[in-house]
Amino acid sequence: MNETLKIISNRVSLRHYDKKKISTEHMNKIIESAIEAPTAGNMVMYSIIHIQDKKTMQKLAISCDSQPFIGTASDILIFVADFNKWNNYYKNEGMYLEKGRKPKNAEMLLSFEDTMVASENAVIAGESLGIGSCYIGDILENYKYHKELLNLPEYTIPLGMLTFGYYPKDYKRIKKKRFDKKFIVFDEKYKNLDEEELKTMFKSKGKEFYNRKTNSDFMKNFENAVEQWFKNWGRE
């Protein structure tokens, strides 16, 4: 197995960090690697907000579902789906042929793709440097608070947040088992799993997830926040 595949295979979500601050050189490498990610038409439809201020981290630890470890990270990168810059440029240059045109669903989805591909590049780059990370989807919660905290205009959505820190010395990585490949990878066409296959796939995990996430106040609040982000995008 080559080194890249080892890095991908060994990666875990890290929530306990060494107290050592990530070096400027290493953080620049992580960010540069993110920007090297594939992007639709080379448009780079995202922005990256680099958080180092501990006060801001503590605020995010509270607002992102009260997760104290967020405040202990060395650095945080928030990956923002962003068509605001392109939209403003088009308007300033008088390029819109359709009067009053607004960015719509296509631009939004392409921005989503750009944003998450870039974030994964950052994760792998960090791992290669001995720097762990954890994805925080809760940055989509608390719409008004995060919009103000991060100064986010329309046509932007904070799609994902990554906490970064060096792995503690002698840290024991615990890998969580993924679903069997046969339930994820289909040849040529999508396969609709039958009842027995679904039972085998999810086992006890399905009911636990339903009670903890899908059928919870958390999901209701999350859905409301996401709907607000979509409205902020200017969807009609």
Least confident span in 12-26, 133-147, 196-210:
196-210
DSSP 39-92: -GGG---EEEEEE--HHHHHHHHHHTTS-GGGGG-SEEEEEEEE-HHHHHHHHH
Q: Which strands, in side-by-side order, build the sheet including 46-51? A: 46-51, 75-82, 156-166, 131-136
Tokens of 216: 């919870």
pLDDT single digits (tens) 110-143 = 999 999 999 999 999 999 999 999 999 999 999 9
Sequence spans of domains, the chain: 3-179
Task: Output the pLDDT for position 235.
Answer: 57
pLDDT value at 105 more than 60: yes
**46 closest CA partner among 75, 23, 79, 4:** 79
Question: 0.85 exceeded by the pTM?
Answer: yes
Share of the chain above pLDDT 70, in %: 99
Task: Output the pLDDT for position 95.
Answer: 87
Question: Class for domain 3-179, per CATH?
Answer: alpha beta
Mean per-residue pLDDT for 156-167? 98
Q: Report the distance separating Cα 113 and Cα 187, nearest Å.
A: 23
Cβ burial of 224 (10 Å; 0-12, 13-18, 19+) is exposed
Amino acid (1-letter code) at residue 213: K
